Amino acid sequence: MSHPNFILLYVDNPQHSARFYAPLLDKQPIESSPGFVMFALDSGMMLGLWSKNNVEPAVPKIPLGGSGELAFAVADIAAVKAMHTDWSQRGLQILQQPVRMDFGYTFTAADPDGHRLRVFAPSDPAL
């Protein structure tokens, strides 16, 4: 059985988005062209940033950012707080300040295209 191994985000400008994601992921792209940039993540998952003007079939002309999230699971509450401080200092738009929720301690930021970036420490360490 095949399982998903790519996340594709439709963005206005893949090169601009790559400059945003490279320091957050502490990675450089493994592929880069004017219309597409790809990162290899430590988990084996690939993150692709695809120009929404070049996607085929074309994406609807509705806002796409914010309709999903990239989630970053971290070890504990201290790690959530540290990432919140780091991302705030980098100038990321913080959509949700650190807070305890049913699934754990979390905060949410946004990338330049409005995609949500959630950092969380799970309540259940097995997650």
Tens-digit pLDDT profile for residues 101-111: 999 999 999 99
Q: Does residue 123 register a pLDDT over 90?
A: no
Please measure the distance between the N-terminal and C-terminal CA atoms of the chain and give it in whole angstroms.
23
Tens-digit pLDDT profile for residues 50-62: 998 888 888 777 6
Given this model, what pLDDT does residue 111 score? 94
Given this model, what pLDDT does residue 58 score? 81
The per-residue DSSP string of 23-46 comes to HHHT---SEEETTEEEEE-TTS-E
Which domains are delineated in the chain? 6-51 (3.30.720.120), 69-122 (3.10.180.10)
